[in-house]
Amino acid sequence: MSDKKLWGGRFEGGLSQAARDFSYTLESDMKLLDFDLQVNQVQAQLLHEAGILSKNENEILQKTLIELGEDFKKDAASLMSDDEDIHSCVERLVTARCGELGKKLHTGKSRNDQVITDVRFYVKQESAALQDGIKMLIQRLMYVAETHQDLIFPGFTHFQVAQPVLFAHHCLAYVEMLKRDLKRFQAVYDAADVCPLGAAAMAGNNYGLDRDRARDLLNFASLTANSMDAVSDRDFIYDALSAANLCMLHLSRLAEELVLWSSDLLGFIRLGDDYSTGSSIMPQKKNPDIAELIRGKSARVSANLTALSQMLKALPLTYNRDLQEDKPLLFHSVDTLKSSLLCMEGMLRSMDINEPAIVAVMDKGYSLATELADYLVKKGLPFRDCHHICGQIVRHAIAEKKALQDLSLADLQGFCAQIEDDVFDILTFESALASKAVYGGTAPKQVAFQLKKLKEEFL
């Protein structure tokens, strides 16, 4: 039915049911409803200002579009039919309510420029909302860091104990990742903030519609400069999927750490019951399923970016129906990231830190070995020689089943005569932390400084 009203004049028959099922997108397009109504309102206003609609006709269409928005909120299902997409659904309903006048609404525009205007609206809105979600998670990480600001934590490389750090410093590393995500989503917003309305199908419109006026009414920052590019450009969607992919990768890395830290093998943290599940057969289990799902869902967001890349790589100008498939990828990525941010913030809020378990691990892995090597450097030895000497000392300590700080001075001097009593001043975790006093280091004063800067920015 609806396909004949939009483009049926050239055809004797309609699409088969299989083709309809394959190509119609009304259900997923519902996310664009409010934007579609706004774009139609602006289009009606432009047609009036161009002399194509009378003042009364414009007022009737404006009133109808507003009423449609209200009716959709009350009972959307009753308004939907076998429409091809949300744009044809809105046009059908306007025509049903306004008669012949409704048929004028599509004058001077195509679904090509209308769809991409709607999607740009959507991306602007959601990139702003995602920035809010990222800021919320940043604030939670800052709270965790400040609450445990003095907790000494094993820093890892290759998931082997490497050097002592402050737990707060570890948390703030994720804040840095998320700050970059904020910048990326602001760039996404800026890339989407360009108005394509007036490009029509691909060559521009014949009615002299005021595109500057469209830009202002729709609150876009600028206008597309080429009508062919306007209807075929999906770069801003690629930018959105790319930013979502990177942010999900960051969340996945944090989720992986929560999974590891909550394991009985480490026991560094306990996640709340509201973000954990049990086993259907093992009654003792408490599984970090939400963290695992974030980790798993990141793969699907990554796949969406790959899918869009492949979709765009061989398309000639201008619009091709392949581009219909961009929106499900976009909607899925946005929805997944929004819910992942919300769940990650909730998990961190529910998390308890098991400080005794962390303290118990600190003596494992000989994380003070680098401090000993740096001590010898300050005694005048070349670092490479110091590295070799300390490796021998670590091997000896392993054999003796002792921590480095528990070796005697005689033991240490057996490997290097330059070692003196003052070595024990540096073989402490507190000394190791304090010595990393460079900007961005894990020294307590530096971490406190970073937290202060972040508070000024985000609180």
Query: Which positions are annotated as active-site residues?
Result: 158, 279
Residue 182 · residue 135 · CB < 8 Å: yes
Per-residue HEC secondary structure of 404-441 comes to: HHHCCHHHHHCCCCCCCCCHHHHCCHHHHHHCCCCCCC
CB burial of residue 421 (10 Å; 0-12, 13-18, 19+): exposed
- Which residue, among 334, 329, 332, 403, has the nearest Cα to 366 in the 3D structure? 403
CA dihedral 390, 395, 396, 400 (to 10 degrees): 130
Helix or strand run (H / E) with residue 164? strand 160-166
Return d(Cα 36, Cα 79) in angstroms, integer.
Answer: 15
Residue 392 amino acid letter: Q
- Which residue, among 119, 174, 106, 186, has the nearest Cα to 141 in the 3D structure? 174
Q: What's the number of CA atoms in the CB half-sphere (13 Å) around residue 264?
A: 4
Q: Which two tokens stand for residue 200?
A: 């029509």
